[in-house]
Structure formats: C-alpha cells, structure tokens
C-alpha cells in the first residue's frame, strides 16, 4: 500500500481507522444504492400450525442480490444497514412490500394470514415508528390484525419501560407482537410478561440441539409450558428434522417454521404454495 497513490493511501488510512475491511466498506457503499437499483427482494417463509399442518402466517425475510457478489446474507448486510442508518428506509420498504403482498393474497381470495415483519433495534427506536406503521397500513389497505411485528428478545429487554410504551401503542392499533430469537437474550419470561406480547419465537439454536441434548429439551418444554400458560402463541424456529417436530408436537408447541416444511420462498412461489394449501 505504501507504493499506492495518495488517494489509495487515504482510503487505506480510513479503513484501518474505522477497523473495517475494504470488502465491508464496499458492501456498505453498494448497500446505499441497493434499494433504488431494485436489488432487494422480500422472501416469505410459511409458519405452519403443528396440529393442522396449515399455513397460519408468513415471515418476511429480506434478500439482497448483489450484482457482483451474488446473494448476500441478511446476517451480513442487516448489521451494516443498522450501523449506517440505512435500515430505516430499507425497513420501511420491507414493511410496505410485505403488507402489500398480504393484502394482494387476501384480494385473491386466499385464506387470511398473519404477516410477520422483523424490526431491527434502530427501527424499533425510531421516533416516528407508529406513524410509519399506520401510514403503511392505510396505504396498503391491510387491516392491522394481519400484521405481526417481531423484535428480538435483546431489543425488548434493553429498556423495558420504553419497550412497553411502544408495544402498548402497537397493541392498541391492533398489531401483534412477537419476541424473536427467544432464549438467546438471557431474559426471563417473568420480565417479559410485563409486555403486551402475542407470540414467542424460540430461537433455532435451541431446536438444533433439541433431540441430542436432554437439557435443551427440558428448557424448550419449560418455555412452551410457561409461555402457553401466559397466553402466548409459541413458534419454534429452524425446525429441520421430523424428530424435532414430533417433540414439539408432544409438548404442545403451536407453530413451526423451518426447512422441514418450507424454506423462505419468492413471492411467486409463496403464492403457489398458498393456492395449493387452500385446495
Ligand atoms: P430471524 O428473524 O430469526 O429469521 C429466521 C432465520 O432463520 C432466517 O434467516 C430463515 O431463513 C432461517 N431459517 C428458517 N428456517 C430454517 C431452518 O430450518 N434451518 C436453518 N438453518 N435456518 C432457517 P435469514 O433469512 O438469513 O435472516 C437472518 C436474520 O436476518 C433474521 O433472523 C433477521 O434477524 C434478519 N432479517 C431478515 N430480514 C430482515 C428484515 O427485513 N428486517 C430486519 N430488521 N431484519 C431482517
Ligand atoms: Mg424473525
Ligand atoms: Mg429468529
Ligand atoms: Mg435471528
């Protein structure tokens, strides 16, 4: 790098200062234009009722098709979007797209579904969140009872009083709230029960060791039992194996989401699946 021109030296200097690799800086730069270049799409992963096998909801999951790098995982670019503040405009777009899609399915006569949309910490703390959400519902014509917003356990417990204020307003609007990645945030249901919640999503890392680690099985059973007794819906994430499904069924978990049933699907594929599910 010492031999490079002044411009590159400068670049190298800022790179090391911020502690970011050139690759990361590049991603950050192209993410700024991803929305307007229409490189982002929303995929939908069905949520399946354990007893009936029916699709009761969909989770909107963002996908980025980078022109050179191919598909970039949300676990890579969401943190960048979060850090740069781009998550605000991207998140709004996801919410609008997902609500529009759910409305379109309803208008096509498909069975009513809950559409779950992830909110990042920054989105959750943006001052005009409630306005943005109600504006999008009005714009798309989707009734609030068909929307569920997911915040992670970590986001929820960071400032319980703030969380409670915001969630109460969302609840008053008629929107459901899910706690995502439950079990990873080291909180407890006795703290979370202060919040107006509807759904607990057990993190996929627990499901992964469900059938090989008896302690994990006990923990998951305790979460499901306690959660259900508090009136919550319980969703298991990342269900891949029939044995996992059988166990979850035996402990009265309500819904599953996972590759055992469906991977996240394009809007077109999801529409086909819903048409088959109805028939
Ligand atoms: P999440 O909200 O916990 O979503 C579940 C993740 O598990 C998704 O990964 C999904 O594709 C994956 N998954 C589902 N079933 C299985 C399975 O059976 N096995 C395995 N191994 N994985 C499964 P994905 O789509 O890569 O998203 C990762 C995370 O990125 C999400 O975790 C969420 O935190 C974030 N994310 C995705 N889309 C959005 C978005 O629109 N907004 C925000 N703020 N975050 C998003
Ligand atoms: Mg989620
Ligand atoms: Mg999750
Ligand atoms: Mg996650």
Q: Is the ipTM of this complex over 0.90?
A: yes
**Tokens standing for 11?**
């670049």
The tens-digit pLDDT sequence of the chain (279 residues) is 344 444 444 444 444 456 778 888 888 999 999 999 999 999 999 999 999 999 999 999 999 999 888 999 999 999 999 999 999 999 999 999 999 999 999 999 999 999 999 999 999 999 999 999 999 999 999 999 999 999 999 999 999 999 999 999 999 999 999 999 998 888 888 889 899 999 999 999 999 999 999 999 999 999 999 999 999 999 999 999 999 999 999 999 999 999 999 999 999 999 999 999 876
- E strand segments, the chain: 40-49, 55-66, 70-72, 114-118, 147-152, 176-182, 199-202, 233-236, 255-256
Q: Please compute, for residue 74, the number of CA atoms within 13 A of its CA located in the half-sphere on the CB side.
A: 16
Token pair 């057990």: residue: 202
Whole-number Å distance, alpha carbon 270 to ligand 3 midpoint, is 20
CA atoms within 13 A on the CB side of 15: 14
Q: DSSP secondary structure string, 31-53?
A: HHHHTTTT-EEEEEEEEEETTT-
* CA of residue 237 to ligand 1 center, whole Å: 9
**Quick one: which ligand is closest to 122's CA?**
1
Please tell me the predicted confidence (pLDDT) of residue 17: 57
Q: Is 155 in the pocket of ligand 1 (CB under 6 A)?
A: no
pLDDT in tens, 188-217: 888 898 999 999 999 999 999 999 999 999
Question: If you measure from the C-alpha of residue 61 to the centroid of ligand 1, how many angstroms do you get, rounded to a whole number?
Answer: 6
Is residue 237 in contact with ligand 1, taking CB distance under 6 Å? Answer: yes
The residue contributing the CA closest to ligand 1 atom 10 is 264
Q: Is 91 in the pocket of ligand 1 (CB under 6 A)?
A: yes
Structure tokens at 123: 């989105």
Give the span between the Cα atoms of 236 and 254, in whole angstroms.
Answer: 8
Question: Which of 164, 142, 168 is CA-nearest to residue 155?
Answer: 164
Question: What is the rounded CA–CA span in Å between residue 11 and residue 147?
Answer: 44
pTM beyond 0.80: the answer is: yes
Beta-carbon contacts of 239 under 8 Å, excluding residues fewer than 6 positions away, are 207, 245, 248, 256, 257, 258, 259, 260, 261
- Report CA(3)–ligand 4 centroid distance (Å): 43
């Amino acid at each position: 790098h010492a031999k490079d021109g002044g411009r590159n030296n400068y670049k190298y200097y800022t790179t090391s200062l911020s502690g970011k690799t050139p690759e990361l800086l590049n991603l950050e730069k192209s993410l700024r234009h991803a929305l307007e270049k229409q490189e982002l799409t929303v995929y939908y992963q069905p949520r399946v009722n354990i007893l009936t096998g029916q699709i009761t909801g969909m989770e909107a999951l963002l996908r980025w098709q980078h022109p050179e790098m191919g598909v970039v995982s949300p676990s890579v670019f969401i943190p960048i979007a979060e850090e740069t503040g781009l998550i605000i405009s991207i998140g709004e777009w996801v919410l609008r797209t997902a609500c529009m899609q759910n409305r379109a399915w309803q208008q096509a006569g498909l069975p009513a579904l809950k559409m779950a949309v992830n909110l990042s910490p920054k989105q959750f703390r943006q001052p005009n969140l409630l306005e943005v959400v109600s504006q999008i519902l009005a714009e798309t014509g989707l009734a609030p009872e068909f929307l569920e917003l997911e915040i992670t356990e970590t986001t929820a417990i960071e400032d319980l009083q703030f969380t409670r204020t915001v969630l109460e307003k969302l609840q008053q609007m008629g929107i459901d709230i899910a706690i995502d990645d439950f079990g990873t945030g080291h909180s407890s249901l006795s703290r979370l029960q202060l919040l107006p919640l509807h759904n607990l999503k057990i993190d996929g890392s627990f499901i992964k060791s469900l059938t090989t680690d008896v302690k994990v099985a006990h923990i998951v059973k305790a979460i499901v039992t306690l959660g259900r007794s508090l009136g919550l819906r319980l969703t298991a994430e990342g269900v891949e194996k029939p044995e996992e499904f059988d166990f979850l069924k035996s402990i009265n978990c309500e819904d599953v989401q996972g590759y055992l049933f469906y991977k996240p699907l394009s809007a077109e594929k999801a529409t086909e699946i819903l048409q088959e599910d109805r028939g």
